[in-house]
Structure 1
Amino acid sequence: MDELPGWLPAWCLDQLGGEPTGVLFTSRQVSTVFGLRLVGGRDVVVKARADDGRAGSCVAAQARLAEGGFPCARPLTPVVRVGALAVHAEEFRPGGAVLHGNSPDVAVRCARVFARLMVALAGVTVAPPLPNPAWVRWDHADAGTWPAIDVLDNRDQRAVPAHIVETAQRARTRLLAAASPGVLGHADFEAQNLRWRGRQLWAVHDWDSLAWQPEAALVGAASGSFASSGPPTLAPVESSDAFLTAYQDFRGRSFTAVELEIAWAASVWMAAYNAREMALCGGASAGGDALRAQAAERLRRAHA
């Protein structure tokens, strides 16, 4: 409790009707997340992130999905500005297990979820949540290959292997050549953000990571990232292929040849972004190793 920010107890009292009496968990990544027990025993989750204008659309879309019965936490408040932060609360939805593995069978299970998610989001009208999350922000207007992120750009770029930069450049060129319209989709579709009870999906988390990109690009990114249950990695090519095929089957429409190229380009861009971040921050090398092994084939399929 002593480590909670000073604004949080009063915010909970004002927005939720009770101050926190205990901390269930804390997590600090893109957003800072607090699992709290309030006076009276009610458990909630409060999320705070830098207010870049995205949060309102993300939370509104999450609320619409929850209202429609999609398995995700239901927001309890709108987004409220606290200084430079955008803050909201949602219900605590614990339980379920992470599905580990990167086989084609796992890919098909995850593709079914992603197709269901995209169908649900197609019925949601919100302002596009821009700017997109950095790992799918290949359409940025910043100088150079990567979107400007001070915490990464201020590090020694010599730590990033040349093949990662080249791969990102080629994938980005292919993505920028596409003229497909943007749609709303989940851009951090990783094993660690899904929970299962047996073969039944229990929850999809991390709705802060909604993005506005072409459908094929969002599906492609998910086809590469679905197996990440910790540090980001890249699924095998055959599993990404199974994901893309299953998604089209579940959606009931086939991608065009160009859309498939965009999907493969998005898969390799996201992997390159993550590999660069790991190289700069001293993280796990598994994603970078997988990228090195697969980049040529993925770029070939992307016609990049």
Structure 2
Amino acid sequence: MVLRSMFVEVEAWCFRVLGHGTLTSLRAEAGGQMSHQFRYDSDEQGTVAVKVRPDSTDRISRCLQIQRIAADAGFPCARPLTRADLLEPGVVVSAETWLAGGEMHSGGEVSFAARSARLLAGLMEILESQSPTGLGAPPPWMHWNPPTGGLWPTNPVVDAMNQDLVPGHVHDIARSVSRRLAQGVLPLVVGHGDWESQNLRWQGDLPWAVHDWDSLVALPEAAIVGAASGAFASTATPTLSTIESSGNFIDAYQQARDRRFTDEEQEVAWAASLWPALHNARGESLFQSPPVALDALTCQAPERLQRAGVP
């Protein structure tokens, strides 16, 4: 439920930046941190999507710049219409073209893996010349080595909960993955850090829209691909893809990019494939939700760690 005070602030911003129109509050979306979505029916510009989220204007400005580059290159995504403005301290607002419609894939993982991987490869090709500066820290489901030196990135709400609810083997796997990824010396690139099915829309087999551009990251290419290979099939309930599906995703990505990963990149990809599931398994345990990611992680971790070169 959007607070009335926020609605009034957003409405005033829309009047000032987009002209007269009607604002409608939509549901909150997960993207980096929780964000609020609005629909603004502008008399001058038609229907516009407005997004409000806790973040910095500098980081969101960089995300919008990269999103605009992707849209201008013909990639299926909304095009930013405004700059990032500070709505109130620590809260950023911006607007983009309204790109509704399309369908979220919810069928078989194996058949979908190559299609999703090829779409990611197309985006990475568009962004390969972009500097990774300005994107800040990755979102927690991609943040395997926080600067605090702790195992998990800082989150006051989550950190205050009873950590004994998290099974010990989740922490053990996370330590192994974190150590393996800390060994890497691969260059940083720009990529999408929340490549889940719930953020993609299709018309048949053709991509219609990629959402959640607040989750852009600066990480090694193999790590971005690996994390996507584990998370790509997640819909409303995040889980861990099958090992076969992740392997197909990683292979299809390389084919689309017309190059093979080195042995180091292969290991980094498989290590990174575990981190989103680790993040989700920890959350399931703390909030006592059904152990969807936890069960998949428990079953698959030994083979994924082996492929990551972790003894």
TM-score normalised over the length of structure 1: 0.95
Does residue 283 of structure 2 align to residue 282 of structure 1? no
Decide whether the 8 Å contact of 1:46 with 1:89 is kept in 2.
Answer: yes
For 2:37 and 2:147, the matched residues in 1 are separated by 34
Does residue 49 of structure 2 align to residue 45 of structure 1? yes
Pair 260,45 (structure 1): closer, same or farther in 2 beyond 3 Å: same
Tell me the equivalent position of 2:173: 167
Q: Secondary structure at the match of 2:286?
A: helix
For 2:188 and 2:145, the matched residues in 1 are separated by 11
Does residue 111 of structure 2 align to residue 110 of structure 1? no
Does residue 33 of structure 2 align to residue 27 of structure 1? no
Tell me the equivalent position of 1:81: 86
> How many pairs align?
303
Does residue 61 of structure 2 align to residue 56 of structure 1? yes
- Residues 196-227 of structure 1: per-residue CA shift (max 9 Å, x gap): 00111000000000000000000000000000
Tell me the equivalent position of 2:237: 231
Query: Which segment drifts farther, 50-59 or 21-30?
Result: 21-30
Report the residue type matching 2:15 in the other structure.
L
- 1:1-304 equivalence runs, <5 A: 3=4, 5-19=7-21, 21-23=22-24, 25-29=26-30, 30-40=33-43, 42-52=46-56, 53-83=58-88, 84-125=90-131, 127-304=133-310
CA root-mean-square deviation: 1.7
Q: Secondary structure at the match of 1:43?
A: strand
Decide whether the 8 Å contact of 1:22 with 1:38 is kept in 2.
Answer: yes
Pair 155,170 (structure 1): closer, same or farther in 2 beyond 3 Å: same
Decide whether the 8 Å contact of 1:171 with 1:266 is kept in 2.
Answer: yes
Q: Secondary structure at the match of 1:54?
A: helix
Decide whether the 8 Å contact of 1:74 with 1:91 is kept in 2.
Answer: yes
Q: Secondary structure at the match of 1:64?
A: helix
Q: Secondary structure at the match of 2:273?
A: helix
Pair 261,71 (structure 1): closer, same or farther in 2 beyond 3 Å: same
Deviation at 1:6, TM superposition (A): 2.5
Structure 2: which 5+ runs fail to align? none
Pair 211,102 (structure 1): closer, same or farther in 2 beyond 3 Å: farther
For 1:259 and 1:215, the matched residues in 2 are separated by 8
Decide whether the 8 Å contact of 1:54 with 1:131 is kept in 2.
Answer: no
Deviation at 1:281, TM superposition (A): 2.1
Pair 103,28 (structure 1): closer, same or farther in 2 beyond 3 Å: closer
Deviation at 1:235, TM superposition (A): 0.3
Q: Secondary structure at the match of 2:274?
A: helix
Deviation at 1:77, TM superposition (A): 0.3
For 1:37 and 1:88, the matched residues in 2 are separated by 12
TM-score normalised over the length of structure 2: 0.93
For 2:211 and 2:29, the matched residues in 1 are separated by 15
Decide whether the 8 Å contact of 1:35 with 1:92 is kept in 2.
Answer: no
Pair 37,123 (structure 1): closer, same or farther in 2 beyond 3 Å: same
Pair 82,35 (structure 1): closer, same or farther in 2 beyond 3 Å: closer
Pair 141,294 (structure 1): closer, same or farther in 2 beyond 3 Å: same
Q: Secondary structure at the match of 1:227?
A: coil
Query: Which segment drifts farther, 100-109 or 248-257?
Result: 100-109
Deviation at 1:125, TM superposition (A): 4.1
Aligned-residue sequence identity (percent) comes to 41
For 2:188 and 2:267, the matched residues in 1 are separated by 16
Report the residue type matching 1:66 in the other structure.
A
For 1:173 and 1:150, the matched residues in 2 are separated by 24
For 1:24 and 1:91, the matched residues in 2 are separated by 16
For 2:134 and 2:255, the matched residues in 1 are separated by 27
Decide whether the 8 Å contact of 2:196 with 2:233 is kept in 1.
Answer: yes
Query: Which segment drifts farther, 268-277 or 196-205?
Result: 268-277
For 1:39 and 1:177, the matched residues in 2 are separated by 51
For 1:58 and 1:261, the matched residues in 2 are separated by 28
Decide whether the 8 Å contact of 1:248 with 1:254 is kept in 2.
Answer: yes
